[in-house]
Amino acid sequence: MHTVAVLAPEQVISFDLATPIEVFTRIRLSDGAPAYQVRICAERRETDAGPFTLRAPWGLEGIKGADTVIVPGTTDPAVPLPPAVCDALRTAAAEGARIAAICSGALPLASTGLLDGLRATTHWAVAELLAAMYPDVDVDPDVLYVDNGQILTSAGASAGLDLCLHMIRRDYGSAVAADAARMAVMPLEREGGQAQFIVRPCLPTPRGSALEPLLLWLQDNLGRNLTLADIATQAGTSPRTLIRRFREQTGSTPLQWLHRIRVRQAQHLLETTDHTVERIGAQVGFGSPTSFRDRFKRVTGVSPHAYRRGFGRLPS
């Protein structure tokens, strides 16, 4: 039987803690036998879990010998794990255990050094913090989970469920994982990644910058078929100079910036109107439905139709 140790650090996020417990304890094999033994482990006898106090049945000794160790997120992910917990995780990894972080648990896990040199993800809201605090980690904020073999990480809370199903499929195959997905009432594989959930504001420009009037003009003229030459003419400069100024002040090119705000406006229209996808693409300035679909999927990871299914308003 596969043993899963779920760590319960101080200020653990209860959803992140409960997800692997609920998923792994319910899995049954074809003969009805349980597929996993789950241990909830904590450094101290009682753990502050925010709304409640958790009494874990296992101490850190429960991590030893586990096949998989789960690190949930905490309310303050910038706080590193205590030395004893870090040592327990490093020892488990050295002995071959699979280590997986859920949501913002990637940051506590990174404090052990186990993510150094690896690609990882976390909740999009703390992805920049992970990259800043642990520059040796290659942070990918757009995906639902990352599997490096022994070390795995997931995005926001519900993506922890995607990660658990992925590990079940690795351990017991697709049929068992599909049964687990049906029990959880979710698809075994969700379309797209975390990119579709990220709130992407327009690329920042300091107030009072030389480009501010031009950026406001672009936002007011999204529906026009604008070329780089058109934008340069509006700015009263050459295309080469415009590109240089854009890179200096926005970190982007004029057309990249324009495409980003077009997609953001398209997301808003898909969420709030009943307009057809083709009409929305034209409203925000894409020359053809194909170019709209391609650009939208490049930015969000899903098609406009899939985005509307997930985020569009319910019919009245």
Strands 53-55 and 138-139: unpaired
CA angle 39, 43, 46 (to 5 degrees): 85
Instruction: Note the pLDDT of residue 187.
Output: 55
Instruction: Note the pLDDT of residue 189.
Output: 60
The pLDDT of residue 316 is above 60: no
Residue 231 — pLDDT band, cuts 50, 70, 90?
very high
Instruction: Note the pLDDT of residue 298.
Output: 81
CA angle 300, 306, 311 (to 5 degrees): 80
Burial 144-162 (b: 16+ CB within 10 A, else e): bbbbeeebbbbbbbbbbbb
The pLDDT of residue 315 is above 70: no
Tens of pLDDT, residue by residue over 269-281, are 887 888 899 999 9
Strands 145-147 and 151-154: antiparallel
Which residues, 6 or more positions from 12, have their beta carbon under 8 angstroms from its beta carbon? 47, 49, 50, 54, 72, 73, 74
Tens of pLDDT, residue by residue over 28-79, are 888 888 999 999 999 988 888 888 898 999 999 999 999 999 999 999 999 9
pTM value? 0.66
Q: pLDDT exceeding 90 applies to what percent of the chain? A: 45
Residue 202 — pLDDT band, cuts 50, 70, 90?
very low
Tens of pLDDT, residue by residue over 173-185, are 877 887 887 777 5
Q: What mean pLDDT, rounded, does the chain reach?
A: 86
Instruction: Note the pLDDT of residue 208.
Output: 53
